[in-house]
A and B are shown apart, each in its own frame.
Chain A
Amino acid sequence: MAVFELPDWAALAPALILVTTALLLFVIDSINPHTKNRSLLAGTTAVGSLAALGVAVWFMVAGVGTPTAAGGRGVVELFGGQLVVDQMALFFMTVVSVVTALVAVASYDYMGDHAYQSEYYSLMMLAATGMATMAAANSLVTIFIALELASLPSYALVSILKDNRGSVEGGLKYFLIGALSSAIFVYGISLVYGATGHLQLEAIADNLQGAGEYGGLLGLGILMLIGGFAFKTASVPFHFWAPDAYEGAPAPVAAFLSSASKAAGFVIAFRVFTTAFPLEPTTAVIGVDWTLAFIILAIVTMTLGNFAAATQDNVKRMLAYSSIGHAGYALIGLAGLSADGGEIVMGAAMMHLLVYGFMNTGAFLFVALAEYWGVGRTFEDYNGLSNQAPVACFALGIFMFSLAGIPPLGGFWSKYFLFTGAIEAATANSAMLIVAAALVVNSAISLYYYARLVKAVWIEDPVSGRDTLSQPTGLYAAIIFAAVLTVVALPVFGPIADAALEAATVAIS
């Protein structure tokens, strides 16, 4: 029995905490414009995102967002259904805030003597706010605003090393492709609005029938929306910004974008397609089953990402292509939906994005550590690092094997569920068998390049003449914490799976 009832808007607390932290950082900056007090800045960021994380987890445990029928406190709808806080929103707010916290702690060392400290952290918090809002956005307008709120700070973050050519080039590419895909996305919104007369997702679903004569228009709109998601999640066909942007960006920013931003992109895709375009009525209007688009995109994305990753010599680019490959895995969550279910496959995709948030962030943070040490960027430059830094390299081994999906690590669990879900979905749609086969084949291929990195740090002989490597506290703490999360996923996977599956069930129904 609650002592007092919180107002409805309090359900948005995780996002509100993030934006408050961003404003707090502005206040700090305005009091002391050139502060380099990195303990204060990184500390504020980390505390803010950890608070958001805590609140999001607390809400999930307390049953906020769970339908009252299932014993929860009910899904909270705000501003006439423009924003909605359900379990899926809280789940993804958790993902975003845990990644933000890890990245903030790691940035303490990485951005150590950088000139624009407070700008860096406040931009990151603004982007995180945008991503958390994406998780709750329930109308095409709020989705677009949240998407831009997440994207604009990200462009600046990628090019924040403004004297570094790669950083600026990556930022420009990211911005140009981002602008293009935003334009396509908005155009898609306008077509959907033209066909159905609504922007709010439930309202679109209710008015699909009325769009009968504009079926083609609606289909084109949906296709353009998919383009927008593809950009944000770094999936085919808007994936090619990712390797350049990640390579040029400071490694913690790359970690942030490839984990949190990707997850946020997926949450809007999940929400739009399950809420606004339910499979059966949409198919009736536009004449095509939209899961077909996701089946093709999933297969192409995972295959392209993996094959490209296998041929890289630069570790960061390898991770960038691997992140494209993982976007392909998560796309299975939409490809596997069918008229009579699909909550396993979608829940599995959500689990994968959560676990991916730990393991991929950890891997990029190891690259950040290597950049901090200045050991170089290729696989050869990493040779024999384990002799000098066994703990960090042990953690790297965990991340790599987890990304490859080797048990008992977190990445195995989510891939296992994805595979199981894909096979289950094949009972309704046998094309999913091909997707499941592609998942297995790609997992096998991915082992090659992930193991290559493990081989470099653990098995190859050390590069001669390397200086002693320091042990930066923040980076080490973040890497170890990410590794622990990746391993601890084993015993606590029950609750995670429950949360994700429930969230997916609510979203689909």
Chain B
Amino acid sequence: MLISIDWIRDFTDVPNLPAKDIYSRFTLATAEVEDVVTIGEHLEKIVVAEILSFEKHPEADKLNLVTFKISETDIRKVVCGANNVKVGIRIPYAPLGVKLPNGLLLEAKKIRGVLSEGMLCSEEELGFAEESEGIMELSQDAPIGMNMLTYFKMKKDTILDIDNKSLTHRPDLWGHFGMAREFGAIFETPLKNKFTKEWATGLKKHFTLDSSPIKVRLDGESAALAYFGLSLSNVVVGESPEWLKVRLKACGLRSINNIVDVSNYVMLELGMPLHIFDRDLINGNEVVIKRLTAETVFKTLDEVDRKLEVGDTVISDTKGPLVLAGIMGGLHSGVSPATKNVFIEVANWKAALVRRTSTRLGLRSDSSQRFEKTLDSKLCERTMLRTLELILELCPGAKVVGGLEYGGMDLSLIPTLKIKTSLKKIQTVLGLDLSEEKLLSIFHALDFQTEKNNSEFFVTVPSYRSTKDVEQESDLIEEIGRIIGYDNITPKSPQDIIAPVKLTELQKIQRRVRDFMVLQGKSFEVMSYPLIGDTLLKHCSWPHSTSLKLVNSLSQEHDLMRPSLIPSLLEVCEKNIKHHDRFRFFEIGRAYQEDAKNFSKESLHLGAVFVDKDKNPFIDLMNVATNLLTSLNLSPEFVEMNTKFENALVPSEWIGIHPFEYQNIRVMGKFAGAVFSVHPLVLRNLKIKGHVTVFLFDLSLFTNYSAKDKTKYKPLNKFPISTFDWTVVAGADSLASEVLNACKKVKLKELRDVQILDVFESENKKFFTLRATLLDEAQTMTSEVLKSAESALVDATSKAGFNLK
């Protein structure tokens, strides 16, 4: 919103501080000033000059060398391209150093070899017209040397552009009068309130005893809170006076005609929108305010057909809607140059309903923007009288017919809000020493009345602040704090008890997982969107399942909550395979499932992926997974796919699972993860050539659990370790784990471990050389003990079908 300081000065004496000081104080106390523009500064330096002579530029046909005076003794020369140069005319001259509204800064320069000291200006260059031809001719009696500001009886002005969002909660600041009160409180200058009772009584003398030609009727419940109507006759629609146009322009509005301009002016001054009808275009003798009972198409002032729905509030005559309540008038009944008689509407509307309709229509007008902040119905009358005052000033022949017509609630029933507070409480919450005198002066400057009762105050909130902004004590504290300035509060550490804090188990685990995956897994952490689309799911051949779906997504690419990290991870693979032949990454992210009871269930998963175009990374990732889980003090078991016990992390019906490269991870008896390679068929769809292995693990396991470190010290061995190697023959498809599992059947207290020493393949057979480690902690093993252990091991492998070579 644009605010004119000149306009503010109608109501309070803003001190003559640099613009920067004004806006920074305002920003700190009230609302953010986004921009400051000074207007008219250039006009102060541009003066009336008289042309004495001119000659052709020696080097350019179209340019003249003009000699002129700005006083009897000060004669200057400029190069000028205008074709209306005449000896004796008076024209505006901008000397060096002036910055014109179009941004041009006048500097001494040579134009085709001739020095030019400034510029003779056109209307366009002065900022008076969008486009103009030639230099501006002033009247012949324009005093030579007089500046343009004086000559045009204009004032310099500073315009503040205030962030609308920071005024969301301040309906009272949507007009200059309310802003002036704020400035008065900030700069400690009194408010000049001309809108007194006497002023109102004076204006009401224009009312007549005639019956109003247009009555007001509220038909049932609607958006209306209060509706005032007033009829005037014999208005003369014409151009607005210069002062009115200047102010509207300063605030970003275009002048239309004097009547429309008055309605905008009053809105910008008092913050309450109003509407003026051409009364002769109202059919019948009343306006009816009601909610629509059928869909209607309505052409608003901006000549757009709007589709109105059942329930929208409109102001209608006998033929149909005239105004869309609180938002915009209709094209048909607006004021035109032919208008003679008018009907003025000043009303207040329910904020939520105005907002709902305007949001639906995508039509946010100056009017709806204000009503949706919740305005004060008590301000309607003042707004009406100010409108009347201005119309009478601009059209002295206009006459009121009848008096105020009213529909709506009894405004005297609006309760007055009183809030109890105390100096001590305000001091405590702000953490600031504050005198009672200062406190009261701030309340009074903001129009809050106070009654003292022992150490407490009862503060009466003005009606225009209590529509929703000020409700309770904390709101009062804010008023004091912001006017004092938060800069004046000294930072202090609170006096508080000390309590230990620590990360939760899940948070610690997440950090350890990240560290492990980065340092040991040599992987990069990625973060992908939790929102995915059906296209991606199809692309990954993800089995059909119901994913949680947004109703108002921005695109179909991102309208589902991912049921698993796998599709996201595969998308990352797809994206990166174009640039890299091998890469590793991981993500700690959430998967989202439907939940009958709580609507949704979110679980935190680790997904790590190794991709390699040539070398199968399965074993590498298995190693990382095993070591990671072991380092977390879990004892992971790797088991083969089992259709009886479904692993919730990897749906068994998904065709993306590799037939051989798959291991479920069981932790504490539960399936909590898996390591698997992605089936080439799915990889083909993703245009990935090579191997993709995924390690998925459910970290939600740690939400209420911490795995203990079970490490225990044991005395160092006193007796020698003995090893025994033997080689067995196995089928080509046999796995090392199958051979080792056979050895697990041997229960001997001396048997520590059996591992693979060597493997070689020949003639469709595999030869595994095994090494068993034997130790007795209590004594040196006898050869008999060793012998029987060896034969037990060989028997065990043979029994499992792996004969001794």
The answer on A and B forming one complex is no
